Chain A
Amino acid sequence: MKLLPDKLTRMMFGLAVLIFLVTPLVLDDDFWMTVLANAGAFAVASIGLSILTGFTGQVSLGHAALLTIGGYTVGYFGADHGWPMWAWMLAAILIGALVGVAIGPFALRLKGNYLVVVTLALVFITGYVVENWTSVTGGFDGKSVNSASLAIGPVDFGELHIFGRDFSREQGIFYLCWIMVALTALVGRNIIRTRPGRAMRAVRDRDVAAEVIGVSNARYKIAAFAISSAMAGLGGALYAISLRFISPSNPAAELFLSIRFVAIIIVGGLGTIYGAVIGALLLGPLPELVQEFAGLFDFTIPIVDRPLVGDSPADNGIFSAASFSEILFGVLLVVFLIFAPEGIAGMIRRLRRRLAGRSNVDPDNVSDN
């Protein structure tokens, strides 16, 4: 299957590239740049989870832990030891992959719910290691990532200088994150549309039958974990770079973050690469968006006489901004699962099929991209 199979896809891709290039020039606000950069970091990790869960059918609640690992990798190698960007990026990817290879074999032995809880174990174990391996992680205090190098060759993303125009650190990181999104999506798409991708789908749909016809479950399940963990590690490193800081969070918060990623790929559309990116764009910045626009929800509920969402505790809102975004996640997740389990990508797919009708787009070739 071709990388960009039809005209519409090519057009959408071109449009996306254009938007990406132009955004920092048009949107001169560092806050939103950071929000979008974070969405990009999440997108990288989400593509990984999409490959693992959407294409290979292995559910994982441990994804957040892998991001944490990636974040600490850049903190330790990038900030503490001053490694160049390509080096710490490679480290984040490799360490992520190694962890993935460690978890992979569990997927061979365990099915369904048992596997889910084991991935949860990863969250607890990572949390414990992070809090106690203070020489590497700085324990409870966390670690500053600010000094990590963002330079590759002549280009320093921290201090971009193109055509005589200075870019702020936030804008530079935005570009960096989304370039990585593009690369990750490219890798993901190439895996998916070729032989390994078909093998993974076979494992997802009928793993025993796949084994029988010669698709090695061991190889592809472990590979899926390795690849998704590597992407998560990279995403985590980018996220840490954007935040300039990494610190441990309690397992409950990590679980929530893992759930966020699951929500992202479900809302975006399970079984597609671009779905993960769309999901990340929509749901990634959701907590920040809610915080920003808490004012919108400031209308007072008549009976209770309190605003729906309070900007600060003094507002006495029914929900706090953080609370509201968590509920929103929960509600979105439930609503999408019940009414639109195929996600946004699924809706787009159905739309295209309906539009295909008489045109020369082959509906069967559009599926499962």
Chain B
Amino acid sequence: MEKFFQLFVAAIALGGIYALIALGFVVVYKATGTFNFAQGGFVLLGAYLVYQFGDDWSLPFFVALILAMVVMAGVAAGIERVVIRPMINGPPFTIVLITLGVLLIIEQAVRTLWSEPAYVLTTPWGNGVTEVAGVSIRHVDMWTVGFATLVLGGFFAIFRFTTIGIAMRATAFDQEAAAAQGIKVGRSFSISWAIAGAVAVVAGAMLTSRTGSVLTPGLSFIALRAFPAMIIGGLDSPGGAVAGGVVIGVVEVMALGYLDFDWIGSGFEVVLAYVLMIIVLLWRPNGLFGTRAVQRV
């Protein structure tokens, strides 16, 4: 039982990170119908920006974080405006591939701008650990849960209670009707991408911090592990993204902790996430909370 509690906080923390990444995907998908592979690139670039502002330019960590979120939001919105917006009326397949291309470009740009193979991201909590009732909890995990809750909560508050949020929901629901009501559809698109960029920064920073604070270009690959999260949750359900993220985070950490048989080998927890995703999809082809697609014939 002790082991369970030991893993629990870490599980929720990783779940929170995946929830953030998945939310970034889902917000863009819900608002624009685009499956944005470049989200992994946003996570990567976001983390490097935090390093740049925090370590290289020696700004206090939280300032660096906020600044990186702002910059990343701008970059993401910019990419949307320049590369995605012109293609919004084309086949969805095309846009997905364009986001793949953008992902490649972002990855290489990061490698070029920050040419060392790895950097150390300093955080206020470092490697601190606290003992509570015989269970050691890492500070980074606690901060992750805190941040994730804050950001997710903030997002849902905006989505639910502000005019902008209503505008975005209206655009996602029916673009034409929203436009007819005077809602600026283009602005909704840009804002959704900006949100995706901003949450990616937090996810990237916390992800780096929890894996030894070593920042490498391989971070964008970790975003791939969040895919099962948003698929399980349903591509157009922000709540589903959070639920899916937490589920995948818990599954990964628990699998890593409990399933250590010899024959299992390494990397099983990632495969398990994908296998779980496949099982859920067979049962609910649109994810647990996604809207059931009604096909016009």
Known: A255-B224, A319-B108, A334-B98. A116 touches B87 (CB 8 A): no
CA separation between A127 and B87, bound complex, in Å?
34
Q: Which of A106, A113, A337 meets B101, CB within 8 Å?
A: A337
Residue A82 is within 8 A (CB to CB) of chain B in the complex: no
A114 and B286 contact, CB distance less than 8 A: yes
In the complex, what residue of chain A is closest to B277 when comparing beta carbons?
A: A121
Chain A contact residue count (CB 8 A cutoff): 44
Listed stretches B136-144, B179-187, B245-253, B263-271; interface member: B263-271
- Residues of chain B within 8 A of A124, CB atoms compared: 270-271, 274
B297 and A208 contact, CB distance less than 8 A: yes
The digit string for B94-113, where 1 denotes a CB below 8 A from any CB of A, is 10111011111101110110
B83 and A252 contact, CB distance less than 8 A: no
B105 and A327 contact, CB distance less than 8 A: yes
B285 and A111 contact, CB distance less than 8 A: yes
Shortest CB distance A210–B (Å):
11
A338 and B87 contact, CB distance less than 8 A: yes
A330 and B224 contact, CB distance less than 8 A: no
In the complex, what residue of chain A is closest to B217 when comparing beta carbons?
A: A252
Known: A111-B285, A128-B265, A128-B270. A117 touches B277 (CB 8 A): yes
- Residues of chain A within 8 A of B218, CB atoms compared: 250, 252
- How many A-B pairs fall under 8 Å by CB? 126
Residue B154 is within 8 A (CB to CB) of chain A in the complex: no
Residue A86 is within 8 A (CB to CB) of chain B in the complex: no
- Residues of chain B within 8 A of A331, CB atoms compared: 101, 105
Residue A243 is within 8 A (CB to CB) of chain B in the complex: no
Residue A187 is within 8 A (CB to CB) of chain B in the complex: no
Chain B contact residue count (CB 8 A cutoff): 50
Chain A positions 245-260 with a Cβ under 8 Å from a chain B Cβ: 250-252, 255-256, 259
A114 and B100 contact, CB distance less than 8 A: no
The digit string for B104-132, where 1 denotes a CB below 8 A from any CB of A, is 11011101100000000000000000000
- Residues of chain B within 8 A of A255, CB atoms compared: 221, 224
Shortest CB distance B218–A (Å):
7
The digit string for B197-237, where 1 denotes a CB below 8 A from any CB of A, is 00000000000000000000010110010011001000100
Residue B281 is within 8 A (CB to CB) of chain A in the complex: yes
Q: Which of A109, A111, A125, A131 meets B275, CB within 8 Å?
A: A125
- Residues of chain B within 8 A of A112, CB atoms compared: 92
CA separation between A318 and B227, bound complex, in Å?
32
CA separation between A344 and B94, bound complex, in Å?
16
The digit string for B63-95, where 1 denotes a CB below 8 A from any CB of A, is 000000000000000000001001100101110
A256 and B104 contact, CB distance less than 8 A: yes
Residue B1 is within 8 A (CB to CB) of chain A in the complex: no
Known: A118-B281, A319-B112. A334 touches B266 (CB 8 A): no
Residue B51 is within 8 A (CB to CB) of chain A in the complex: no
B221 and A117 contact, CB distance less than 8 A: no
In the complex, what residue of chain A is closest to B86 when comparing beta carbons?
A: A338
- Residues of chain A within 8 A of B278, CB atoms compared: 106, 118, 121
B271 and A252 contact, CB distance less than 8 A: no
Shortest CB distance A275–B (Å):
16
The digit string for A169-196, where 1 denotes a CB below 8 A from any CB of B, is 0000000000000000000000000000
Residue A329 is within 8 A (CB to CB) of chain B in the complex: yes
In the complex, what residue of chain B is closest to A341 when comparing beta carbons?
A: B94
A333 and B281 contact, CB distance less than 8 A: no
Residue A79 is within 8 A (CB to CB) of chain B in the complex: no
CA separation between A21 and B227, bound complex, in Å?
47
Q: Give the interface of B toward A (CB within 8 A).
A: 29, 35, 83, 86-87, 90, 92-94, 96-98, 100-105, 107-109, 111-112, 218, 220-221, 224, 227-228, 231, 235, 264-268, 270-271, 274-275, 277-278, 281-282, 285-287, 293, 295, 297
Name 13 interchain pairs, CB-CB below 8 A, sorted by A.
A114-B287, A117-B231, A127-B267, A131-B267, A251-B221, A251-B270, A252-B218, A266-B97, A323-B111, A327-B109, A334-B105, A337-B101, A338-B86
Q: Give the interface of A toward B (CB within 8 A).
A: 59, 106, 109-114, 116-118, 120-121, 124-125, 127-128, 131-132, 208-209, 250-252, 255-256, 259, 262, 266, 318-320, 323-324, 326-327, 329-331, 333-334, 337-338, 341
Known: A113-B92, A334-B98, A338-B98. 16 other contacts (CB 8 A): A59-B93, A113-B96, A114-B235, A131-B266, A132-B265, A251-B224, A251-B270, A252-B221, A259-B100, A266-B97, A319-B112, A323-B111, A327-B105, A327-B109, A333-B100, A334-B101
